[in-house]
Amino acid sequence: MLESGPVAVLGATGVVGTELLRMISQRGIPAEDVRAMASGGESSVAYGAGLIPVHPVREQVFDDVRTVFLAAGAEASRTWTPIALAAGCDVIDTSSAHRMDPDVPLVIPEVNGEELDRLKASPRLVANPNCSTILLLMALTPLHRSWGCERIVVSTYQAVSGAGAAAMDELRTQTRSMLDGDRIVSECFGEPCAFNVFSHDSAIDASTGRNGEEQKMLQETARIWNADVPVSATCVRVPVLRSHTESIHVELGTATTVEAVRSAITAFPGVSVIDDRAANDFPTPWKASDGDLVLVGRIRMAADARLQSDGRGDRFEMLCSMDQLRKGAALNAIQLAEGLKSI
């Protein structure tokens, strides 16, 4: 048994929950130290080379648990967070429920991991940022630290797995139907996701015209960086099963070179630069999938950069990909628990 007590995953049968269990098992935590919880009818879920039972979500399950990972959505997080905290558990929430609460740290360990240091004694609650925000800030934080970011324009190309297992199944089914000439049925999204792209399926704010995903990127960037940097985001779904991609245009506070930008990104933990212009080799969702690193490439000076006499400029562009089920959710959450020393 773990000296600190078992680990629980609420939402264990969803796409993030199953990824959490896979990564927890890879860290060598034995099955008897893991509690899988879900509200559905599944009796067991994969863990390592075997299966572990799935418990119904009820208060008693938290009694001997040290750390709870919440991966069942915002409504479930709001319900079970106070109960888990009252039982003395540390809580890592992957949903949006607590991200804008000023009393709850919103943390990407490589970016603002120092926020964990102020959480001294259990029970502690930490929020996992939105996956699109994690990808954006993992790529741009080394630039922000070195030269300051004055303005960001980002377009996302988001995999359907961000909408859950049912959306992944729908893309598979629609692709087969399209190729076979059969009728396309769309249940998860407002229109087909196979062979199609469309504005992110989160709700649109009538006054701003932004969808929910775009608004999260604005608000969460400000919280995590503790800086008022304008972010203009356009978030789009693409017919990809797994891993998000972003095209980023950034204006820096101080002019620099492409080589310096590339070096700063290369040195940042959790990032891998794939930027071979001669071979046309750059980040893709395929390369990022099932990996822990944020891939960054297409690093170049923007056409509208204000050049200085020595060739330095202030505006740069890049292309980034990341497995949003791992670093965008499960891995980041596990890193938070490790930072708290609660697993």
| Candidate list 89, 98, 131, 149, residue with the active-site label | 131
Q: What is the 3-state secondary structure (H, E, C) of 15-65?
A: HHHHHHHHHHHHCCCCHHHEEEEECCCCCEEEECCEEEEEEECCHHHHCCC
Instruction: Compute the distance between CA of residue 90 and CA of residue 343 in angstroms, rounded to an integer.
Output: 10
Contact status, residue 192 vs residue 182, Cβ threshold 8 Å: no
CA 199-216-9 angle, 5° bins:
100
Strands 294-301 and 44-47: unpaired
User: Is there a catalytic annotation at residue 131?
Assistant: yes
| Cα 261 from chain centroid (whole Å) | 23
Kindly report whether the peptide bond that precedes residue 56 is cis, defined as omega within 30 degrees of 0: no
Tell me which of 98, 235, 244, 320 is the catalytic residue: 244
- The span from the CA of 285 to the CA of 289, in Å, is 6
End-to-end CA distance of the chain: 12
**Nearest Cα to 296, choosing from 105, 135, 127, 59?**
135
DSSP 4: T
SS3 sequence of 75-131:
HHHHHHHHHHHHCCCEEEECCCCCCCCCCCCECCHHHHHHHHHHCCCCCCEEECCCH
Active-site residues, by number, are: 131, 244
